[in-house]
Amino acid sequence: MKYFFLLFILFLVPSCRTVTPLPHPAAISTSLREKCFPAVSQSAFRAVHVIHATIRGQSSSFIGVTIADVSTDRIRATLLNIEGLVLMDAVDNKGKITLYQSMQPFNSVRFADGLFDDIRFMFFPPHGDLIDARVKADGTVACTWIDHGHVFEKNAAVSGETMIKEYDSDHKIIRQVRLSPPIIKGFYKDISMDHYYGSGGYSLSLELLEGEHLKHVDGLFAP
Amino acid sequence: MVIMIMPVLYGAGWTQNWESIRQAMSQIHSISAIFTQKKNLRILARPLVSKGRFYYRAPGDLRWEYQSPIKNVLLVHGDKVAMYVWNKEGFTKDQGPQLEATRIVMEQIASWLNGNFHDNRAFIPKLEQGNPPKIVLIPAKDYLAKFIKRITLTLSGTSGAISLIEILEPQGSSTTIDFSHIALNTPLSDTTFEKVK
By Cβ distance, the residue of B93, B102, B171 closest to A83 is B102
B32 falls in which pLDDT band (50, 70, 90)? very high
Chain centroid to Cα A83, Å, comes to 29
Asked if B137 and A76 touch (Cβ cutoff 8 Å), the reply is no
pLDDT at A28: 80
Peptide bond into B69 cis (omega under 30): yes
**pTM exceeds 0.90:** no
Complex ipTM tops 0.90:
no
Tens digit of pLDDT for each residue in B162-191? 999 999 988 889 999 999 999 999 999 999
SS3 of residue B44 by DSSP: coil
Using the Cα atoms of residue A209, residue B173, residue B103 and residue A109 in order, give the sign of their dihedral: positive
Chain centroid to Cα A17, Å, comes to 31
- Please determine, for residue B37, whether its predicted confidence score (pLDDT) is greater than 80: yes
Contacts of B49 (CB under 8 A, 6+ apart): B36, B37, B38, B39, B69
Closest residue in B to A77 (Cα–Cα): B43
Is A174 in CB contact (< 8 Å) with chain B?
no
Q: What element of type H or E holds B190?
A: helix B190-194
CB contacts of A101 in chain B (<8 Å) are 147, 171
Mean pLDDT computed over every residue of chain B: 87
Across the strands, what pairs with A203? A54, A194
pLDDT at A98: 97
Across the strands, what pairs with B155? B162
pLDDT, one tens digit for every residue, chain A (223 residues) = 444 333 333 333 333 333 444 555 557 888 888 889 875 556 899 999 999 998 877 888 899 999 999 989 999 999 998 888 888 999 999 999 999 988 888 889 999 999 999 999 999 988 899 999 999 999 999 999 999 999 999 999 999 999 999 999 999 999 999 999 999 988 999 999 999 966 668 999 999 999 999 998 888 999 8
Tens digit of pLDDT for each residue in B123-166? 999 999 988 999 999 999 888 888 889 999 999 988 999 999 99
Is A46 in CB contact (< 8 Å) with chain B?
yes
Is B178 in CB contact (< 8 Å) with chain A?
no
Closest residue in A to B69 (Cα–Cα): A209
Is B32 in CB contact (< 8 Å) with chain A?
no
pLDDT at A10: 33
**Which residue in A185, A192, A184, A134 sits closest to A162, CA to CA?**
A192
Tens digit of pLDDT for each residue in A6-65? 333 333 333 333 344 455 555 788 888 888 987 555 689 999 999 999 887 788 889 999
B119 falls in which pLDDT band (50, 70, 90)? confident
pLDDT at A42: 65
Tell me how far apart the alpha carbons of residues B75 and B194 are, in angstroms, rounded to a whole number. Answer: 7
Is B87 in CB contact (< 8 Å) with chain A?
yes
Tell me how far apart the alpha carbons of residues B171 and B146 are, in angstroms, rounded to a whole number. Answer: 9
Is A209 in CB contact (< 8 Å) with chain B?
yes
**Alpha-carbon distance A163 to nearest alpha carbon in chain B (angstroms):** 20
Other CB atoms closer than 10 Å to residue A195's CB: what's the count? 20
Tens digit of pLDDT for each residue in B51-107? 999 999 999 899 999 999 888 999 999 888 899 988 878 888 887 766 776 777 777
pLDDT at A21: 47
Which residue has better confidence, A71 or B119?
A: A71
**Which residue in B62, B61, B84 sits closest to B71, CA to CA?**
B84
**Which residue in B53, B167, B44 sits closest to A209, CA to CA?**
B44
pLDDT at B105: 73
Chain-chain contact of A59 with B39 (C-beta, under 8 angstroms): no
**Cβ burial B22-35 (10 Å sphere, 16+ → b, else e):** bebbeebebbbbeb
- Please determine, for residue B9, whether its predicted confidence score (pLDDT) is greater than 60: no
pLDDT at B107: 77
